[in-house]
Amino acid sequence: MEYRDKVLRCIECGSEFTFTAGEQLFYADKGFKNEPKRCKACKAKRGQAQGSSSSARVVTTTVCSQCGKETTVPFKLTQGRPVYCRECFQQRRAAASA
């Protein structure tokens, strides 16, 4: 199939942008079904906005299952598994690899 440049309209800002033949070939190679909906500038702004919200780190305060010391972990507790402080976690890791 021969690809030709297409002019598309951005759904964010309404400006026209070119969907090049090379980009179309890339989309076809990757198996993408839909054409792009945003110009490069709006796509970059959207990526930055999503990246800043996902970079907020979750920190949970809990009690170590082995020594009982209060500790923080960088994830949300959800599965009811034991949680260890840094020292106990490293001791268990060292014991498991030995």
| CB 19 within 8 Å of CB 6 | yes
**Any idea what DSSP says for residue 36?**
P
pLDDT (tens place) for every residue of the chain, 98 residues total: 789 999 999 999 999 999 999 999 999 999 999 999 999 999 999 888 776 555 567 888 999 999 999 999 888 888 888 999 999 999 999 998 88
- Going 26 to 31 to 35 to 37, the CA torsion angle's sign is negative
